[in-house]
Amino acid sequence: MELQAVPVPRARLGEGPRWDAGTGTLLWVDIPAGLVHRLDPAGDEQETIDVGQPVGVAVPRAEGGLALAVRDGFAVLADGEPAVRDGFAVLADGELIVTAAVTAAERPGNRMNDGACDRAGRFFAGTKAEDDTPGAGNLYRLDPGRSCERVLTGVTISNGIGWSPDERLCYYVDTPSDQVDVFDYDPATGELTGRRRFARLPQPDGLTVDAAGYVWVALWGGASVVRLRPDGGHDLTLQVPAANVTSCAFGGPGLDDLYVTTAWDGSTGGELWRCRTPFTGLPANPFRDLA
């Protein structure tokens, strides 16, 4: 597998790649810049939406548009034709709707970070303090119908989350713990139980799970993505030409292209990388806004 840089502008903190099967495009974000990017790989054409505040992840919305984890909480962005200013699509007032303002009840300076949806359309995303205060964040679940529940407390940097192919397991990263945890997961209720260590890794960040049940984890400061077996053992390491690797996701028509996001460290990073693999990913699930 050989990574190639996708010809798009560098991000300060690229994160949250998600394949939008409905449009055949890749979504990813630049967190502090508040930018949501969309890539059409057919011609590597890219468009960018400025949502006006830091954004941790963007996922497709089953009803159209996007669901977001932004600084203030969970939000939705309906379909439309935003105006363009200085090369960026700019939202009109009221188009970005915060549906669950979770950070209002947390310490000042917290924001939302990475997240993902299960097959039922529940949107899981967590928070962190901008100064990385230990234990200042939480993990939340936004259900169809927009009811929101805090499902995990005492998190420091809530990061990658993903499910096994049968959705009986949920993998989760709180980066400073230096491990990937696994929960038993009830796909009927969205309940997480039985938290335990899945694998020890230095500064794990975002993750994705492939169709064979192997877990791919980006390593912040580790210049790599590792593939872990379903038992947590190491399978392979993909070297990335950037120190701070933030997340990864499968995309393309066959879900066999691996996209990797990175962050600028002052000298390198910030690129979006892509490689063809002999593996197949799982489809990214949309958020289902309506119960």
What does the pLDDT look like over 225-267, one tens digit per residue?
999 999 999 999 999 999 999 999 999 999 999 999 999 998 8
What's the distance, CA 187 to chain centroid? 20
Which tops the pLDDT comparison, 291 or 186? 186
Two structure tokens written together for 137: 């964040």
Two structure tokens written together for 188: 């009927």
- Count CA within 13 A, CB hemisphere, residue 30: 20
Residues in the chain: 291
**For residue 162, which of 144, 188, 181 has the smallest C-alpha distance?**
181
pTM tops 0.85, yes or no:
yes
What does the pLDDT look like over 150-164, one tens digit per residue?
999 999 999 999 999
Name the region of 22 (left: φ>0; alpha: ψ -120 to 50; beta: rest): alpha
pLDDT of 94 over the 80 cut: no
Told to judge if 40 belongs to the known catalytic residues of this protein, a careful annotator would answer no
Exactly one of 143, 205, 210, 289 is catalytic; name it. Answer: 205
Q: Give residue 91's pLDDT.
A: 46
How sure is the predictor about 77, in pLDDT bands with cuts at 50, 70 and 90?
confident
SS (H, E, C) the chain: CCCEECCCCCCCEEEEEEEECCCCEEEEEECCCCEEEEEECCCCEEEEEECCCCEEEEEEECCCCEEEEECCEEEEECCCCCEEECCEEECCCCCEEEEECHHHHCCCCEEEEEEEECCCCCEEEEEEECCCCCCCEEEEEECCCCCEEEEEEEECEEEEEEECCCCCEEEEEEHHHCEEEEEEEECCCCEEEEEEEEEECCCEEEEEEECCCCEEEEEECCCEEEEECCCCCEEEEEECCCCEEEEEEEECCCCCEEEEEEECCCCCCCCEEEEECCCCECCCCCECCCC
112 vs 252: CA distance, rounded Å: 27
Q: Give residue 79's pLDDT.
A: 63
How sure is the predictor about 92, in pLDDT bands with cuts at 50, 70 and 90?
very low
Residue type, 58: A
Q: How many degrees, rounded to 5, is the angle at CA 25 between CA 37 and CA 182?
A: 85
**For residue 117, which of 27, 35, 38 has the smallest C-alpha distance?**
27
